[in-house]
Structure 1
Amino acid sequence: MSDVRRHAWYSGEVQGVGFRYATRRLAQGRRVTGFVKNLSDGQVELVAEGPADEVEGLLEDVASAMSGCIRDARVVDEPPTGAFDRFGVAF
């Protein structure tokens, strides 16, 4: 299975609630690379690359674990770049 890249933006009460660290923890058990970071407009940005089932699983896990915080999510497909060697919190 070839790698995919998903670029997501989450809005709602997503900053100051441990969203980034929960996402990093959820990614640890998956074969994904990328990052999650707070944006100045109050959103959280997530970029994940890896096998499609792993990336989709991460996005589903995030949606489930953070459902009480997320008001809206926008996800777009992008070509994978292979630019990351791990998944982490970006600042």
Structure 2
Amino acid sequence: MNARLIARFRGRVQGVGFRATVLHHARGLNVNGFVRNEIDGDVLLDADGPKSDLKELLDRIQSRPAGTIEDSIITWTDSLDRSSGFGIR
């Protein structure tokens, strides 16, 4: 079953390779979407795919982050059924 994951990561997550690390962790998983820096210093992850792959992506990010995650806000919603791949914006 596909789902949509929206996650905001707070802490020292900009300027430390965090987005590139998320992209690396997403490789090999069936996820589509993007990761981007936000103006307030957070990093936003917006991804669609099988819930098991999205959970695996979160586990990878949280167990091997670049930078320091002080807090994260995780939201699960219905999938947008995107098929554009995964990238950095």
TM-score normalised by length of structure 2: 0.94
Partner secondary structure for residue 62 of structure 1: helix
Partner secondary structure for residue 73 of structure 1: strand
Partner secondary structure for residue 41 of structure 1: coil
Which residue of structure 1 aligns with residue 10 of structure 2? Answer: 11
Which residue of structure 1 aligns with residue 45 of structure 2? Answer: 46
Query: What residue ranges of structure 1 are gaps of 5+ in the alignment?
Result: none
Shift >2 Å, 4+ stretches = none
Query: What residue ranges of structure 2 are gaps of 5+ in the alignment?
Result: none
What does residue range 22-61 of structure 1 map to in structure 2 within 5 Å?
A: 22-61=21-60
TM-score normalised by length of structure 1: 0.92
Which residue of structure 2 aligns with residue 78 of structure 1? Answer: 77
- State how many pairs are aligned: 89
Aligned mates of 1:84, 1:37 — CA distance in 2: 18
**CA drift at 1:84:** 4.2
Q: Please list the CA deviations of residues 31-64 of structure 1 after superposition, one character each: whole Å capped at 9, or x if unmatched.
A: 1111000000000000111111100000110011
Percent identity between matched residues is: 36
Q: What amino acid maps onto 1:72 in structure 2?
A: D
